[in-house]
Amino acid sequence: MFKDTKAFSGFSVNDTVKAKEFYSTILGLDVRNGIEGILELYIKGSTPVIVYPKPNHIPATFTILNFPVPDVEKAVNQLKAKGVVFESYDLPYFKTDSDNIFRGGGPLIAWFKDPAANIFSVLQE
């Protein structure tokens, strides 16, 4: 039934002005204003992601958006230079290193939060 549909994703933020500034200036995304205060994130090769305002927003406790990059270490350093703070994890089977990068199997990956405290990641292609 849905195999030929162009599905899209969406998530909430508590402040679309701060979110738009972060997504466009820090992450370098093409961010457009949609209807009724909604933001549209245009990411190469995908359907736009919808970001909608929600006054009682509760941040996601899981990764809501992943950005594949050719070099995670370079991406992390570039984002840190722009003031992005990366998450650190120190669990028995899930630890990030001093660079905030998980190197425990699978692709190299690092997590950070947007101004609404939603979790994003950069991961090695």
Residue-wise pLDDT tens for the chain (125 aa)? Answer: 888 888 889 999 999 999 999 999 999 999 999 999 999 999 988 889 999 999 999 999 999 999 999 999 999 999 999 999 999 999 888 899 999 999 988 899 999 999 999 999 999 98
Paired strand residues for 68: 123
In whole angstroms, give the CA distance from residue 116 to residue 59: 6
Tokens of 57: 């927003």
CA distance 51 to 31: 10
pLDDT at site 68: 95
Cβ partners under 8 Å of residue 86, min gap 6: 76, 79, 80, 96, 100, 110, 111, 112
| CATH for 10-124, options being 3.65.10.10, 3.40.50.10540, 3.10.180.10, 3.40.50.1820 | 3.10.180.10
The CA distance from 4 to 22, in Å, is 33
Tokens of 89: 């994890």
This prediction has a pTM of 0.91
Look at residue 1 in the predicted model and tell me its pLDDT: 83
pLDDT of residue 57: 97
One-letter amino acid for residue 64 of the chain: I
Note the pLDDT of residue 105.
Answer: 84
Number of H helices, E strands in the chain: 2, 9
